[in-house]
Amino acid sequence: MAEKRPVQVILVDDHTVVRAGFRMLLAVADGIEVVAEAGRGEAAFLLYQEWQPDVVVIDLSMPGIGGLETIRRLVSRFRQAKILVFSIHDESIYVRRALAAGAKGYISKNAAPDLLVEAIQAIAAGHAYIEVGLLKNQALACAELDCQVLVAALSTREFDVFRLLAKGLTPQKAAYELCLSYKTVANYTTQVKQKLRISTLAELVQVAKLSGVLKD
């Protein structure tokens, strides 16, 4: 049986000593490999193009375009990008702005070292990860991010069916809207439910609301 490939990580922090500390910490963690480092967001963007890593660990306070803009650009260019913010800032305003920019997780540099490893592994697996205590409505924030990850995995046609069903259209009306057969839409509906890990229309609507596809 082939050995599982380690989670590949790019570290982005403008302090060389800090990056060295992160690298040493992750070097002793099972299943994680730091493949590249950057001190600015502009360099991180180019390194992402080259390596296509599983997770980007990024600070917010950096020269140049800064951490938030780097996150926004990475997610805009590479929809699959999974970004973990690791910052000295532990105020909720920074957390929310980072998540709004497209980050999948946020932990503070004051957190226990093991938390960095745990967060990287969780985000690589497709989950959201926010350090406990950084947000008041922690459960809701994680639910929103998890739903966004699941919805992002839908194909274009699956997303079209998902969106119309969430708006209240029946499968028959969705089929007419998309110029597809009812059977095809029914098959897409089954696939959507499987990918979103749901079984009912009510759950589908809830996922649409949490992911931001459907507004209250």
- Asked if the domains 7-136 and 154-211 are classified in one and the same CATH topology, the answer is no
Structure tokens at 45: 């963007």
pLDDT of 34: 96
Residue of higher predicted confidence among 61 and 59: 59
Write down the CATH number for the domain with range 7-136: 3.40.50.2300
pLDDT at 139: 66
Q: Which of 44-58, 89-103, 182-196 has the weakest average pLDDT?
A: 89-103
User: How far out from the chain centre does Cα 16 lie?
Assistant: 26
104 in Cβ contact with 125 (< 8 Å) = no
Chain-wide mean pLDDT for the chain? 90
Is residue 215 pLDDT above 90, yes or no?
no
H or E stretch including 35? strand 32-38
Q: Place 71 in a pLDDT band, splitting at 50, 70 and 90.
A: very high
Local confidence band at 192 (pLDDT 50, 70, 90 cut-offs): very high
CA 26 to CA 32: how far, in whole Å?
Answer: 6
Helical (H) or strand (E) element with 186? helix 182-196
> Could you tell me the pTM of the whole model?
0.70
Q: What's the rounded mean pLDDT across residues 154-168?
A: 91
> CA–CA distance from 167 to each of 1, 92, 202, 207, 214 (Å)?
46, 32, 11, 12, 7
Q: Give burial (CB, 10 Å; 0-12/13-18/19+) of 93.
A: exposed
Where do the domains of the chain lie?
A: 7-136, 154-211
Q: Which residue is associated with the tokens 């998902």?
A: 162
Cα 4 to the chain's mean position, in Å?
Answer: 22
At 216, the pLDDT band (50, 70, 90 cuts) reads low
Whole-number pLDDT of residue 120: 96
* CA dist., res. 30 & res. 50, Å (int): 24
- Over residues 15-57, the pLDDT tens digits come to 999 999 999 999 999 899 999 999 999 999 999 999 999 999 9
Q: Which tokens is 70 given? A: 């780097």
C-alpha torsion sign, points 51, 53, 59, 60: positive
- Topology classification of domain 154-211: Arc Repressor Mutant, subunit A (1.10.10)
Statement: residue 1 has pLDDT above 60: no
Cα separation values, 186 from 120, 171, 194, Å: 37, 7, 13
